[in-house]
Structure 1
Amino acid sequence: MQSKYIVFVYIFFFLLVDSKSYSQSREFVFYPVQGGLISEQLKSISYTDDGIIWGATDNGIMKFDGNTTEFIHSKLPSHYIKSLTRGKDHSIYVIHDLGIAKITSGDNQFDIQPILEGSTTLSPNFLYYPKSIFEVTPNEYWIGETSTIVHYIDNKIKRYTLTGESQSPHYVRSVLFEIDGYKRTWAFSYNVGIFTFDKEQDDLVQVTLPQDLHNIAYVEKVGFKTFWIGGKEGVFEMTVNREGQISTWKKLCDIKDVSSACQLKDKQLMVGTWNDGVYYVDLSKSDPKVRKLHLNGMEDIIDLKRVEGQGIWVTGTESMGLLKEAPFKSIDIVTKHRIVESAKEVAKGRIIISLGDSLRQLEWVNGNWIQTYLYECPERSRVFTLFNDELYIGTYDGHIFKTPLNNNRFEKLDKVDVKGSIISMFVDEENHLWAVGEYDQGLLKLNGDDVTIIQKEVLNGTHVIKGEGTFYIGGRNASQLLSKFNYKTQTFESLNLKFPRKVDQNISINDLLINDGLVYIATTDGCYYFNASLEKNEITLEEMIVRGLPQTTSYKAIAQTKDQAIWLASFNALIRVKNQKVQYFDKTYGLPSNAIKLQGLECDSEGRLWIATEKGLVISDHSPLLEDKTSVPKIRLYTLENAKEYLWDQSNAELPYESNIKLKFDHQFFPNDNVKYQYRIRSVDSTWTLPSKVDELTLLNLTNGNYLFEVKAQQLGYQMSDIASFEFRIITPFYKKSWFYVILFILLTTVIVFLFKRHNKKLKEKGKRLEYLVEMRAKEIATQRTKIMDQQQELYQKKQRISDAEHEIAKAELKNSQLREEKLSELLEQRNKHLTVVTLNIVEKSNFMQSLRKQLKILEKDNNQLKSILKPIYKTLDQSEKTDKDWEEFQHYFEGVHKDFNRKLKEQHPSLTSHDLRHCSLIRLNLSLIECANLLGISQDSLKTSRYRLKKKLELPVDQQLQDYILTFNVNSSTNPGISE
């Protein structure tokens, strides 16, 4: 009964609510070309298969290779280019004021050749200021001029005059041509009207239109007999019959002042206007959907060209850019760039989107998303879920509100008041609602209106709750990162996770994905997964490697679509991984913002992926664009010689030994900033480099061998390209080839053998000479030996005589030595006697003087009158004592006995005086104290004092006797004393 009531309420509100349709709009991204077109007015563009974009300007032909712009004006008679048309052979027809030329381009080289001449005067044999061309066959063309049409066939010109001037005031349109399925030619004049060519009458016949159509600027054949035509009044569809008449005519869209257009897939149309930008038109429904695209202020559209694999090139008068379709569809909710908190499917075909201040319920009806209800929650909503057929909403204020579907009767659950916001909600298979607060340590369990707060250590830091049957909770606690709920025990069991590598100690789980028995955990330090069916005490995780991203990348959300592709949201990109193929998307390729919400990826029952961002909501619904590969890059090889580069053809890439080369590889499809490359030299290293924007490689001093260079590219939003390869060979120099070594070995062997034989021959010759010389030498040696023996006998006799002589000499010398010793002994004895005599004389003299002085002193005491008389006598005595004559004689004899005693003593003790030396001489003679005192003329006490001072001057140790030192002085001296004659 309750469910019937809910259905009734739903139908009631569905009928009453002012439903709003949100059709899915295809997303396009515009990449403007920066610089290079500032003052060169563009009139049309075209392209060649090598990715080069060509433009018609008043300053020649513009060539744009995706990086730089070049203007070519010297290869044509006129630099005023009116239009460019792509030919059936994929070359480009260049229409200029003085004729028509043709561009062929490939492998970064191009050629321009004239095919039809023009003139500044109207002439039957020349073109007159041509504006457009249409190729029927290589020998048949239709050419539009200002007021005439030229039919060029079999090298002949046939001119047809129109009733008025056909050229547009923009100088970029005059006449457009198409051929229907009946092989009939149609001409669409800008100002005059539409004509069909009547072959029988050989004339252009104007057809009557059902309504006025002016300024025809766009024509495209879309069927066997159907054309789309764009002009001032809009875009129309025209169907013709075999007779050349219009059978049907209808208006496709009401876009005014059409300047150019191009058909997309599935009845999609891109329309450019002269002054109002570009519009996207969806004609798949009975009511066409028209949406203006934002092109960075470009409004004056001159030309649109759809290039397969690139996108749509949009040309303005002074600028251009590339419009690329993204594999996403946007839903503009209320206004653009609206923050989307979350999006979730609550029932099949029913999506609820949280915008914070409100929730919008969308349902899929007849190919459109219809807003069936607007929920206005009392507080700012963050997450929500369907529970017991009611909508439960968790708010940023930490509360939970509930309301019936399609109703704004909100009821606040009083028992719920957590810290921070409600960040995750989940309904388990027992119909319990689980919720977690941002900063609360625990979980909320709701059974109807009954609220239970479960606080356990295992629940600390819970961040996300998800599951299928068995559900898991992920958190911010590294030791209890992941837990699962056991329905039997009604408890949470902490899982022991073993990571394949060392992870951040502060790792936390931001989102969970449970699908086909696998559990994926998107963390702040990489993405991991495990098989949930393998019940083990320790769960070994496998890491999901995303090529091109660091393993430590932090992921905010994860989801898996029906095509088995896994989507990951990092903090600056959206990543799709399928069959190990990776694609990257960001706000430069279809996303409203790089800031995807936490757990902001949701996959609905139809396999559509809902992506909630800070600036809007987009959907990915199996677009075939997701399977597009990046085009294969092109490789060019240059050798570097004398600071110049020389291009080599792969068909003849045989390079000199030790060449310096540069390999350039590029995608050549704009924008190049969104392309990364990986390369390897397979013959050297099989490992690919990391993805980077580096587009060239320099190799120096290459050795001989075969080289295979491989490169692959990946453009933002595309899968990795197929591998491009360039094989080249470094020529082996002759001196490194095997035959050279063989010849060298033979030559060396021949030389060695020759030298060996020559050497042997010389050895034999030398041997014979040596034998002769030995024989002669032996004879000489025998003769010499006889002489030597005679000489030795004679020498022995001489030695014997010398020995006898030496013996006699030795005996004589010995005798002589003995005589000398005797003589010296006699001489020494004589001198000792003299020294003794002199010493005794000095002693006697001294004693006599002392005795005389004493007697005089006695007389002086007895008679004081003698004092004056004795005074001169005392003086005489003193002078007599002071005379050095006796001492000189003493010194002479002393030196004769003790040679150099005084000199050596003075050398070793420079501070000694002559008196000190006399004292030392007396000590050396081993005289007594009395004898020394008398000889020196002093008392014994004064002598002791003098000896004490003498010991100090000689710097003798305290324990060493002065007399011992003097007596042994010559013995300790380096020179022995001698006796002079």
Structure 2
Amino acid sequence: MVKVKLTVSLLIMLLSFNGFTQDRIIQFQKISFEDGISDNRINNILQDNEGFIWFGTQLGIDKYDGQKSKSYHLPNEDDQVNDLIQDRTGVIWAATSSGLFYFDVEEDRFERYTSSDPVINSSISGYILSLLEVDNGAIWCTNANSEIIALQPNSKKDTVIHEMPLEESNNSISNGTDLFQDNNGVVWIASSRGDVFKYQESTFTQVNLQNNNTYINAISMDKNDQLWIGTNGNGLFKYNTKDNTTLHYTTSNNSRSNSISNNIILDVLVDKDNNIWLGTDGGGLNLYQPDENKFYTFKQNTYTNFPIADNTILSIYQGTNNIIWIGTVHGGVSYFKNHITISHIPPSVLAFDQIDEQGSQILEASNGDIWITAGRNGLRRYNPQNGKVTVYINNPDKDDDLSGNNVISLFEDNYERIWIGTYSGGLNVFDTKSNTFLNAEDRFQCKAIFAIASDTENNIWVGSSTGIKVYNSDLKIVRTFTSENTKNLNANFITSLYNDIKGDMWVGTNLGLNVFKTDTVLSFKSDKTDPYSLSSNRIRSITEDDDLSILIGTYGHGLNRYERSNNKFTRVGKDKGLEASIIGGVFMDHDKNIWCSTNLGMSKIKPDGTVENFGLRYGVQSYKGGSAIITKSNHILMGGRLGLSYFKASELEENNTGTSKMFFTSGTILGANGTRDLIINSRGNNQITLNPEDHILSIHYSSSDYWNPKKNNYAYKLEGLNKDWQIIGNQQALTFSNLKPGTYSLKVNSAKNIDQDETSIAVIGITVLPSFWQKSWVKAVIVLFGVFLVIVFIRFRLSTIKKQQERLQLLVASKTEVIKTQQEKVYQGEIALLKVEKDNQDLNQKKLIEDLNFKTEELTNYTLRTVHKNHLLTEIKDNLLKASKETTPKKANLKKIIHLIDDSLMLDDDWENFYHLFNQIHTNFIKNLKSYCPQLSDREIRLCALIKLNFNSQHIATLFNISLSSVKVARHRLRKKLNIAGNDSFEDFFETLI
């Protein structure tokens, strides 16, 4: 029983999204009057070998380079362009209502083709319907006279005219309306009366189509040798050339039928992938995919941001880079990248009756149903098998229905119950088995429920703006977590929940990230100073990669990857290729690719780390509050105002088919006489010549990839000036000023192809002509003339120098005699001055000696007076002793003592005079002595001065009025205080102080 149930589930997954309501999405871009083209009616489209796009209109032919358009008018104002081709030599041919024209690249205009055969000229001067270059290089064209003309432009042998066969029944003829040559060399001709002919080995064979006598507008052949024939009112025919069988496709009134949208098929294209594209009259663009045997229709609508420009398609053309171009009647040109991998269910099918930019939350239930929110208008349950849609909205008069129309989260538990979180209506639980809403505990207490998840115990975690409530299987609350009762919980505003493989619950908030483990709650926050922290605290989505790292999407700061091994976050942003900054959803597909639902669409991170971005140009809806999901069948679903879009995850790839070829579009030269425009040769053999008076050269260029020109990055190098490629981003113009005379080669390429592909390079030669003075022969003449002048100058200078040397020698001899005489006089004067100076020195020395002797004598006299003073003191002392022995001192003795004291006082000033004279003879002695030993007393300084004057111990004892033994003691103490060694004398020590 389990196996049966599994098989049924698998079958449901495989059949999912193949119901009748599905559609395909193509995002069209547009070129119209606003882009400079001359007419919005586009009869024909051609992309030439260089990459230019040519549009045939009723007003002439336009050449478009991605930046601007240039119009080429034909001779007659009412000429209509019916067909455009480019032959193998690069010549562009135009079939018009007034004849055959070719593009003259040298003259930059269309010229009428004329043949040397007047009969051929007559045949190609009127209405030309279609053109074809056949294998031998001949140009075939059909005219309104039922002729097929084979032209040989290179050999001018335009002699072959093929008449269209007669109709056997009424002998009527028809015109060839379209030509096609298959891989076997067979030329197929469509006719105006509804027949198809094949021309092989100079023989016409008619192919009878069943039930068709209608004008055939276009024919083409697919890879299975089946001829596709579009008629002017009888629908589409498929003719099998192998078994000559025919299938006829027409429109049907049954909206569920698999059919074309209009019976008037104006053009048919078989693309490189063998898809058949049909341009209809009012029915839009039809696509037939042989592997599905299914038709898709693309018309103007309201459920895509980039619809087709018009529903009447005149021409379809596949250019380079897998771009398909569509010419319309009223809307100009529409074009798209041929990657039809995204299917679509229109909003009307899902009962989206309210236009709301809010994106959808989507859930794939276990039974295969798709639950999708309808903006602020409730919830939808979509059955992919039968297309049935069930609408759930809040009815104020009922209590058992959906509460709250703004659904912002969905989750299915193990009991197949759908948990529905609303913004203001609380929590809803829908039982899919009983098709009833259940009543969960405190269901209305939860506001803004952004996240719902299940833990390893099958409890349901409901994250809202007021914290987390955990419900058991009975819909009872078993735990509540808030920042008030849970340590480390960053905030109560819960934005995402994810239960990882270890059973830990990751909780995203608007203030950081938390991890609920068994016994603790971890907190992570953004730190601007730490590059290994979260890039932002505003968490929007969480999932787990194949290597068990945790991926965290933020609001405004890209994607983060948490590495469990080092407990660090690494950031994935624009530097890694992820263009978007808001990551609304993250999930992994079956091929281990990580998909991010972003504000710019979807981004895929491959296992090797490369990033591919898919936006509106791919038909991918962007994150606007909703989020994309991955289904069990590896489909990615995304929804919103435009309905439900989905695609196989393995099929959506960045479509870079083909190499973008660079080409030069225009140029200007600014010279002394003003600005002149350059005519860029579309054949690629360009050569630009700059005259000496030309100062600035500007070159414009473009790429053959017109799909997203803002993402085209370019590189260039100017050989002759530099050897390395210079990457210049999206810049599409180069300016060079004051180039030196010489030959240069300017090369432009796509920045991504500079090392891989040489075929995509655009090359143009630049020759800068020299001015008259820069010409080689002029430079040679100037050099020779300069050499001649140098030689003449040298000879003249040598002669002049020789004469000057002779005059100089005579002058030197004369001056030498004068100098000798003057030197003798100077010598004599110097000798006299030296003698006078010597006499002055002798006198000064004699005067100094006399002064020294005088001062020495004075010092000696002062010293003797000091001795006298000491005698007086001794006498005073003796008289006092004698007086003290007398009973009554005698008056005469007292007067004598007073007189002696006065004499002694008069001698106290003698030491000051002694110091003054001593300092004049020995200037710095006392100063240096005090500096050397500040502890010396005045008596010790006097002792040093007397020793310096060579006084003996007897004189010193007399001056100090002490005994000789006391002098010895004083000299010994002084030696110790001055730290004089025992073998050194005072005289030697005092010499060191000078």
Same fold judged by TM-score > 0.5?
yes
1:278 counterpart (276, 282, 285): 285
Matching of residue 341 in structure 1 with residue 360 in structure 2: yes
2:332 counterpart (290, 297, 320): 320
Match in the other structure for 2:470:
444
- Alignment partners' CA distance in 2, 1:774 and 1:712: 83
**More strand per residue: 1 or 2?**
1
Q: What SS does the aligned partner of 1:389 have?
A: coil
Match in the other structure for 1:466:
498
Match in the other structure for 1:520:
551
2:345 counterpart (329, 332, 338): 332
CA contact (8 A) 2:341 2:652 kept: no
- Alignment partners' CA distance in 2, 1:711 and 1:441: 56
1:402 counterpart (426, 429, 452): 429
1:26 Cα deviation from its structure 2 partner: 4.3
CA contact (8 A) 2:39 2:59 kept: no
- Alignment partners' CA distance in 2, 1:116 and 1:528: 68
Cα distance per residue 1:286-311 (max 9 Å; x no partner): 56455545556623332222223253
Q: What SS does the aligned partner of 2:419 have?
A: strand
Q: 1:486 to 1:226 in 2, by over 3 A?
A: same
Cα distance per residue 1:951-980 (max 9 Å; x no partner): xxxxxxxxxxxxxxxxxxxxxxxxxxxxxx
Cα distance per residue 1:902-925 (max 9 Å; x no partner): xxxxxxxxxxxxxxxxxxxxxxxx
Match in the other structure for 1:136:
134
Q: 1:445 to 1:676 in 2, by over 3 A?
A: farther
- How do 1:388-427 and structure 2 match up within 5 A? 388-396=414-422, 397-405=424-432, 407-427=434-454
Match in the other structure for 1:114:
113
1:227 Cα deviation from its structure 2 partner: 0.6
Between the two proteins, what is the percent identity of the paired residues? 15
Matching of residue 557 in structure 1 with residue 557 in structure 2: no
Q: What SS does the aligned partner of 1:303 have?
A: strand
1:335 Cα deviation from its structure 2 partner: 1.4
- Alignment partners' CA distance in 2, 1:484 and 1:174: 75
Letter of the 2:454 partner, please give it.
V
Letter of the 2:318 partner, please give it.
R
- Alignment partners' CA distance in 1, 2:712 and 2:639: 27
Matching of residue 542 in structure 1 with residue 571 in structure 2: yes
1:222 Cα deviation from its structure 2 partner: 1.7
Q: What SS does the aligned partner of 1:541 have?
A: strand
Letter of the 2:540 partner, please give it.
N
Match in the other structure for 1:159:
163
Q: What SS does the aligned partner of 1:449 have?
A: coil
Question: What is the CA RMSD across the aligned residues, in angstroms?
Answer: 5.5
CA contact (8 A) 2:409 2:420 kept: yes
- Alignment partners' CA distance in 2, 1:358 and 1:558: 22
Matching of residue 774 in structure 1 with residue 815 in structure 2: yes
1:189 Cα deviation from its structure 2 partner: 1.0
- Alignment partners' CA distance in 2, 1:633 and 1:440: 58
Q: Please, which runs of 5 or more residues in structure 1 have no aligned partner?
A: 364-368, 786-981
Q: 1:240 to 1:343 in 2, by over 3 A?
A: same
Q: 1:434 to 1:250 in 2, by over 3 A?
A: same
- Alignment partners' CA distance in 2, 1:166 and 1:531: 80
Cα distance per residue 1:381-420 (max 9 Å; x no partner): 3322221232232231353333344651221212333443
Matching of residue 234 in structure 1 with residue 267 in structure 2: no
- Alignment partners' CA distance in 2, 1:723 and 1:130: 35
Matching of residue 494 in structure 1 with residue 523 in structure 2: yes
TM-score (norm 2): 0.62
CA contact (8 A) 2:40 2:328 kept: no
Cα distance per residue 1:414-463 (max 9 Å; x no partner): 233344321111123332321201x2134435455332222225152321
1:237 Cα deviation from its structure 2 partner: 0.8
- Alignment partners' CA distance in 1, 2:349 and 2:747: 47
- Alignment partners' CA distance in 2, 1:223 and 1:259: 21
Cα distance per residue 1:554-610 (max 9 Å; x no partner): 443344545565544444554455567655544455245x4x233613233454332
Q: What SS does the aligned partner of 2:314 have?
A: strand
CA contact (8 A) 2:589 2:630 kept: yes
- How do 1:594-633 and structure 2 match up within 5 A? 594=622, 596-598=623-625, 600-621=627-648, 622-623=650-651, 625-628=653-656, 631-633=660-662
1:768 Cα deviation from its structure 2 partner: 1.9
- Alignment partners' CA distance in 2, 1:597 and 1:43: 40
Matching of residue 698 in structure 1 with residue 730 in structure 2: no
Letter of the 1:281 partner, please give it.
Y
Q: 1:41 to 1:477 in 2, by over 3 A?
A: closer
Match in the other structure for 1:177:
179
- Alignment partners' CA distance in 2, 1:752 and 1:574: 82
Cα distance per residue 1:827-879 (max 9 Å; x no partner): xxxxxxxxxxxxxxxxxxxxxxxxxxxxxxxxxxxxxxxxxxxxxxxxxxxxx
Q: 1:162 to 1:90 in 2, by over 3 A?
A: farther
Match in the other structure for 2:675:
643
Match in the other structure for 2:402:
378
Q: Which range moved further: 95-104 or 679-688?
A: 679-688
1:666 counterpart (696, 702, 711): 702
Q: What SS does the aligned partner of 1:176 have?
A: strand
- Alignment partners' CA distance in 1, 2:530 and 2:104: 55
Letter of the 1:508 partner, please give it.
R
1:214 Cα deviation from its structure 2 partner: 1.1
Match in the other structure for 2:48:
48
Matching of residue 269 in structure 1 with residue 299 in structure 2: no
- Alignment partners' CA distance in 2, 1:77 and 1:399: 70
Cα distance per residue 1:706-733 (max 9 Å; x no partner): 9987664799xxxx99996879999999
Matching of residue 590 in structure 1 with residue 588 in structure 2: no
Match in the other structure for 2:96:
96
- Alignment partners' CA distance in 2, 1:19 and 1:223: 26
Letter of the 1:544 partner, please give it.
G
Letter of the 2:222 partner, please give it.
V
- Alignment partners' CA distance in 1, 2:282 and 2:271: 22
Q: 1:152 to 1:344 in 2, by over 3 A?
A: same
Letter of the 2:558 partner, please give it.
C
Letter of the 2:459 partner, please give it.
H
Letter of the 2:283 partner, please give it.
D
1:91 Cα deviation from its structure 2 partner: 4.5
1:6 Cα deviation from its structure 2 partner: 9.5
Count matched residues.
748
Letter of the 1:426 partner, please give it.
A
Q: 1:530 to 1:212 in 2, by over 3 A?
A: closer
Match in the other structure for 1:215:
215
Cα distance per residue 1:92-142 (max 9 Å; x no partner): 431234542334879x978757265898x9988766533223333446454
- How do 1:741-780 and structure 2 match up within 5 A? 761=802, 764-774=805-815
Match in the other structure for 1:828:
none
Match in the other structure for 1:353:
372
CA contact (8 A) 2:21 2:349 kept: no
1:251 counterpart (231, 234, 249): 249
- Alignment partners' CA distance in 2, 1:390 and 1:317: 53
- Alignment partners' CA distance in 1, 2:686 and 2:280: 48
1:331 Cα deviation from its structure 2 partner: 2.5
Q: What SS does the aligned partner of 2:229 have?
A: strand
- Alignment partners' CA distance in 2, 1:13 and 1:672: 38
Q: Please, which runs of 5 or more residues in structure 2 have no aligned partner?
A: 152-156, 251-258, 302-306, 353-357, 393-400, 827-994
